[in-house]
Structure 1
Amino acid sequence: MRRVLMLTAAVLIGGASSQSAQRPIVVGSKLDPEAQILGQMIVLTLRNAGLSVTDRTNLGDTGVNRKAILAGEIDVYPEYTGNAVYLFPEAKIGARQAGEPGTIYALARRLDTANGVSWLRPANVNNTWVIAVPQTLATSQKLGSVADLARYLKGGGKFKIAGSPEFFNRPDTLPAFEASYGFKLRADQKLVLAGATPPQTQQAAASGTSGVNAAMAYGTDGSLSALKMVALTDPRGAQAVYQPAPIIRTATLKATPRIEALLNKTFATLTQATLQGLNAQVALEGRPPQEVARTYLRGKGLIK
């Protein structure tokens, strides 16, 4: 009888393990084109490896995805190393640390360990926050950097910038530019667009919608050149380095450790120019993020 009970227990345990192993891996992402492309790369890479995946990309902004992964509602999503400044304010990460790719990644990885979240290897890309203005304004007012913009503003220059609530409210985004370069925008100089993505804000600036002549943007936006927008440089390093990396619940990674090698291999192929091109296909050509990601991964021989 004892042998029967032991065999029964073994079968039950084995069955439970099998069910656990077959639990779908839930993939999230933010709303902008790049985040959706990267999210789809994760989905397609894992599915190609025979893993069961639930696609919850296009989930929400940084805060939404962060809450979801900490609550176990999603297992993995693409995050940016520079967001460590925002995610771990108690660490008081300085500008010098945030501006060094290896340092900010190591900090993010170490600080999230206690939260049961593991950071995988980031891509060699910097998708940092930037302020972009139309080429015509940049040329006429000699604007090449945020320092130039501060001079323009102090001289009473006309200015109105479009951005998301996150861009205006997070202390490490627009407020960081203001603190580093010594200017302060009034409420009437901001057009806050709920859920806005960089292509939308740049289109508003390019067309002068509601008096807008500047936009929040990311360093890898493919829409910048197409819309004849100039990304102002940040000589004082107000912004952190933002390298995209998959972050995953540690429990999920322990259950399926091969995920790390799979995603590291995919993200290792990405470059600044590559992402700008992929982003442009979604933002300007209207191609679905999954289609763009699939074509790219197949071209690299990463999926069938």
Structure 2
Amino acid sequence: MSPISRFRRTAALTLLLLAGPTMAAGPVVVSSKIDTEGAVLGQMVLQSLEKAGIPVKNRIQLGATNIVRNAIKAGEIDLYPEYTGNAAFFHDQADRDIWKDADKAYEQAANLDKEAHNIVWLKPAKANNTWAMSVRGDLARANNLKTLEDLADYINNGGAFKFAASAEFVESASALPAFQKAYGFTLNSDQLLVLSGGNTAATLRAAALNNNDVNGAMTYGTDGGLNALDLKVMADTLGVQPVYQPAPIVRAEVLEAYPKIREVLEPIFDSLDLETLQRLNGLVAVNGVLAEQVARDYLESLGQD
């Protein structure tokens, strides 16, 4: 072989060696929002992908919604759990009733994000983390209260009821007034304990402790304290509130590089109903268990160990 041929062959091999790592897909940058649920869901994603042999980089609990949203659009992160209802605000469609239907909200969110940002929404959880009206567990069990229709019947038939909520929830046309109009009940001023701020921890505590005869509370659907404090979410069967189902969202080019992501994550999120997510959040928020451990134990229960 001539010196020139040897040089060309050596040069070609060198280029291939140099190009190999560059052409290979990098680790999937997994992120989440900064709250308790974000930590739990983020750890589930991170651990399950890592177990499946997909390289990952941990950026869990990166920040609030605007932080992670801008990061995925900029390509700084690759995947994080988002909520279907938030897509209404991302795409300036908050006034549309489509967001109150779980299937339609998911489909709309997926279509809008794919077209605008090449972001793919994977299968959502069954849980709905939206504004909710909850009641004490003993009241729910004694009166078979499961839905807001049940609660309306109980109130309209003279049942003792006092509700703790923020001023925003009481006054906002889309919150308590919307529930009252849709389900046909009215709470007078004596039946309301209006608390400053919008922290559901305060309303949950008021109902759980039965302060001032309070036996109902403004909550979010998957609040970690619900299970621990024995409060029951009343199902919004008429769809008064927008649906906020958590779902992994991922940049399309990353999903193309690692198509197994879909296969790994879909059964996990499909298993997360309202009570399950309440319980998992409660282990962190109430019992102080690390989100990493809660996620690991749950994945093991699903056979992901």
Equivalent in the alignment of 2:286: 284
Whether the aligned pair in 2 keeps the contact of 1:266 and 1:302 (CA below 8 Å) is: no
1:6 aligns with 2:12: yes
1:294 aligns with 2:300: no
Equivalent in the alignment of 1:45: 48
1:27 aligns with 2:31: yes
Distance 2:63 2:222 in 1: 20
Whether the aligned pair in 2 keeps the contact of 1:119 and 1:245 (CA below 8 Å) is: yes
Equivalences for residues 221-300 of structure 1 within 5 A: 221-234=223-236, 236-300=238-302
Equivalent in the alignment of 1:80: 83
Distance 2:248 2:177 in 1: 30
Equivalent in the alignment of 1:121: 123
In structure 1, list runs of 5 or more residues that go unmatched.
none
Say which SS state the counterpart of residue 249 (structure 2) adopts. Answer: strand
Structure 1 letter corresponding to 2:242 = A
Say which SS state the counterpart of residue 298 (structure 2) adopts. Answer: helix
Whether the aligned pair in 2 keeps the contact of 1:162 and 1:215 (CA below 8 Å) is: no
Deviation of residue 11 (structure 1)? 2.2
Structure 2 letter corresponding to 1:247 = I
Structure 1 letter corresponding to 2:300 = R
Distance 1:285 1:82 in 2: 29
Structure 1 pair 279–160 and aligned structure 2 pair: CA distance change class (3 A): closer
Whether the aligned pair in 2 keeps the contact of 1:26 and 1:73 (CA below 8 Å) is: no
Whether the aligned pair in 1 keeps the contact of 2:32 and 2:38 (CA below 8 Å) is: no
Superimposed CA distance per residue, residues 246-279 of structure 1 (whole angstroms, 9 cap, x where no aligned partner): 1112222222222121111322333333223323
Distance 1:207 1:105 in 2: 37
Superimposed CA distance per residue, residues 179-230 of structure 1 (whole angstroms, 9 cap, x where no aligned partner): 56469xxxx945225xx5x446523554589xx9875422233522542445
Whether the aligned pair in 2 keeps the contact of 1:160 and 1:191 (CA below 8 Å) is: no
Whether the aligned pair in 1 keeps the contact of 2:31 and 2:61 (CA below 8 Å) is: no
Superimposed CA distance per residue, residues 89-145 of structure 1 (whole angstroms, 9 cap, x where no aligned partner): 247531xx2233221111111000121211011123333321346679999xx9x84
Number of residue equivalences: 283
Deviation of residue 63 (structure 1)? 2.6
1:112 aligns with 2:113: yes
Structure 1 pair 35–200 and aligned structure 2 pair: CA distance change class (3 A): farther
Superimposed CA distance per residue, residues 45-100 of structure 1 (whole angstroms, 9 cap, x where no aligned partner): 01212333333323333333222222223221111223232322247531xx2233
Whether the aligned pair in 2 keeps the contact of 1:37 and 1:292 (CA below 8 Å) is: yes
Distance 1:10 1:255 in 2: 20
Distance 1:295 1:159 in 2: 35
Equivalent in the alignment of 1:218: 220
Whether the aligned pair in 2 keeps the contact of 1:81 and 1:244 (CA below 8 Å) is: yes
Q: TM-score, normalised by structure 2?
A: 0.73
Distance 2:32 2:174 in 1: 28
Distance 2:197 2:71 in 1: 25
1:16 aligns with 2:17: no
Equivalent in the alignment of 1:60: 63
Equivalences for residues 140-179 of structure 1 within 5 A: 145=148, 161-162=165-166, 175-178=174-177
Whether the aligned pair in 1 keeps the contact of 2:130 and 2:241 (CA below 8 Å) is: yes
Query: Alpha carbon RMSD of aligned pairs, Å?
Result: 4.1
Whether the aligned pair in 2 keeps the contact of 1:38 and 1:293 (CA below 8 Å) is: yes
Whether the aligned pair in 2 keeps the contact of 1:45 and 1:262 (CA below 8 Å) is: yes
Equivalences for residues 175-194 of structure 1 within 5 A: 175-178=174-177, 181=180, 189=194, 191-192=196-197
Structure 1 pair 270–189 and aligned structure 2 pair: CA distance change class (3 A): closer
Whether the aligned pair in 2 keeps the contact of 1:162 and 1:205 (CA below 8 Å) is: no
> For the pair shown, which has the larger CA radius of gyration, 1 or 2?
2
